[in-house]
Amino acid sequence: MSTIHDQAMNYVYQQVLQRLLGFFSRAERTALQLLIQRLVAAAGGMDNIGHFKVLVNQSGSRDSCYTLALLRAAQLSIAGRAPATFQLRVATLRWNGERPAALQNMHRSYSALFLYDDPRVELLMVDHCEVLPFDHRAPISEAGRESSRINLMLVGHCRNWIETLELWDDAYLATADYYGQIARWNNGVDAMVSTESTASQQHFLDGLNRAVQRVGLAGPLPDGAGFDMLFALLDGLGNDFYRGFNIEEERAQWRPEGQFETCRRAHFIDINDMIVGGPEERWPLLGDFLEFDADDLTLYPCDEPFADPLVSAHLRGLHAQFIEGRTYQAGVSDYLEARLVRMRKESVPEPVCEQLLASLGNVQPSDPLHAAESYLLKSFDLNEVQLTCLLFAPFIDAGAGLERFLRNCHPGMLVAMPDLHRAMQGLQAPEQVLKWMTDVSGLPTVLIERLYAMGPVQISAVRESASRDGCQSGTGTVPAVERSTES
């Protein structure tokens, strides 16, 4: 019975492969053969390919779905000509900014490629430091939502008020932590495969460089490091990326406990050079076979993996209004201009550029982007008052920016400054002051106290490419981190 079942499934898998290859151009088929050769060489030959496990990250984006299809074609092609093929670990990180459309894209891709129930494939998701089977219907856990919200704000507060708020710095930390842990789980993997461009890899490492310095995790990462050094960099950062904020008993433990290898053996395989043709040539495969559903974010190319264009524009508008003393509209216009230049430089179709222009081109000085506000409130429970507080970062370095924040946004609380400083030191203070602090910041008082005790953050040696275009929330150069922490 088992033999009959295996034969039937092998027939199904070969049918999937033939249909998949039918969407490949001649150049893509050639690239597929080169990919197979590269994987076999990395495994140490065809005799070892059955014991070789490959990790691929899945975000539900257009490029990640295409990468998965390419790897599946390689896996099934080898299976059709050899006794065994490589194993595939497909994993995704659940986080608050995730959109339902992305999860649906993943599910439809997995179904079309017959990944479910294939014993050679692991479909996983990570939610709040726990490795789980992938389930597109499962919402992110409440603990995961709260942890993501808190970490986003904590990392955002670790900066000088004049420095542009990079709202997604925590996402770099969370993603790097996830890469390191998912590569060690359940006997680990041999390689992580990615089609990220050199520019995208550099952008991620720049963001990670900035983020690890913000939280006092490390000094500047080695200049010129690429993804070929990713796992070595992660090993050097340790197992708890948030240890500067949390005491031992508060730290989240990776689960299932006891299933993570101490020594990671994974290395990185870059297959970006095997991506041929333009994005528009892949739409038949994506749309007709994988049933990929494109939303607006799919249309706006950017090396920044986390940014929503409307949120980035909104943050730039708020920075112009509150920090630079200009109008909200002027900041949005700055962002729009830089983004359009980038999109046109990359030959994005003009109708797509016009769509972004229509979304941002008529913003009024007193009328913020409500779609961005709604997204931040729904996804991160971050309201406008708390976001403005984040812009000023008033708590860090013994409340160095507190008076400036109060004068600009809450002048009525200036008389309570002595009480606020006492409260941030963990000393006795009126209940109304404590409530005001938590309402305005969105943070519990114990975490405000820890921010208050942290010394100034000065980023140094961050490559300037991190702020080179409108994909960032701001446009200024980002300084690299000296951090002193007061006990």
pLDDT in tens, 39-64: 999 999 999 999 999 999 999 988 99
* 4 has a pLDDT exceeding 50: yes
pLDDT of residue 37: 97
* pTM, rounded to two decimals: 0.89
How, if at all, do strands 267-270 and 191-194 pair?
parallel
What are 246-260's pLDDT values in tens digits? 766 677 789 998 888
Q: Peptide bond before 139: cis, by omega within 30 degrees of 0?
A: no
The whole domain housing 321 covers 308-373
CA atoms of 406 and 484, how far apart (whole Å): 25
CA atoms of 313 and 477, how far apart (whole Å): 17
Q: Classify each residue of 455-464 as buried b or exposed e, where b means 16 or more C-beta atoms within 10 Å of its C-beta.
A: eebebeebbe
* 309 has a pLDDT exceeding 90: no
Q: Please indicate, yes or no, if residue 314 is contained in any of the structural domains.
A: yes
Worst-scoring range by mean pLDDT, 11-25, 280-294, 416-430? 280-294
Lookup result for tokens 């607006």: 296
Same domain for 222 and 284, yes or no, is yes
* Helix 417-424 with 431-441: angle, nearest 10 deg: 80
Half-sphere exposure of 229 (CA within 13 A, CB side): 12
**Domain-terminating residue out of 278, 297, 316:** 297
Same domain for 17 and 98, yes or no, is yes
Same domain for 83 and 167, yes or no, is yes
Q: What percent of the chain has pLDDT above 90?
A: 63
* 430 has a pLDDT exceeding 90: yes
Q: What is the mean pLDDT of residues 220-239?
A: 83
What are 274-308's pLDDT values in tens digits? 999 877 788 899 999 999 987 655 555 555 667 78
Q: Please indicate, yes or no, if residue 379 is contained in any of the structural domains.
A: no
- Confidence category of residue 343, pLDDT binned at 50, 70, 90: confident
Worst-scoring range by mean pLDDT, 44-58, 108-122, 367-381? 367-381
Q: What percent of the chain has pLDDT above 70?
A: 91
Worst-scoring range by mean pLDDT, 274-283, 339-348, 454-463? 454-463
- Confidence category of residue 481, pLDDT binned at 50, 70, 90: very low
Same domain for 322 and 402, yes or no, is no
| Total count of domains within the chain | 3
Which token pair is 321?
């209004």
Same domain for 474 and 351, yes or no, is no
* 471 has a pLDDT exceeding 60: no
- Confidence category of residue 78, pLDDT binned at 50, 70, 90: very high
pLDDT of residue 470: 37
Average pLDDT, the chain: 87
What are 387-400's pLDDT values in tens digits? 999 999 999 999 99
Same domain for 222 and 357, yes or no, is no
Q: Please indicate, yes or no, if residue 303 is contained in any of the structural domains.
A: no
List all residues 6 or more positions away from 39 whose beta carbon is below 8 Å from its beta carbon: 49, 52, 54, 74, 78, 86, 193, 269
Same domain for 333 and 410, yes or no, is no
Cβ atoms within 10 Å of 326's Cβ, excluding its own = 16
Q: Which whole-number Å values give the CA distances from 202 to 180, 341, 426, 473, in the listed order?
A: 18, 20, 41, 17
Same domain for 289 and 332, yes or no, is no
What are 163-201's pLDDT values in tens digits? 889 899 999 999 999 999 999 999 999 999 999 888 888
pLDDT of residue 472: 38
The type of residue at 293 is D
pLDDT of residue 235: 87
**Domain-terminating residue out of 297, 330, 361:** 297
**Domain-terminating residue out of 275, 297, 319:** 297
Same domain for 16 and 129, yes or no, is yes
Q: What is the mean pLDDT of residues 399-421?
A: 97
Q: Please indicate, yes or no, if residue 380 is contained in any of the structural domains.
A: no
Same domain for 50 and 180, yes or no, is yes
Same domain for 219 and 360, yes or no, is no
- Confidence category of residue 5, pLDDT binned at 50, 70, 90: confident
Q: What is the mean pLDDT of residues 214-224?
A: 81
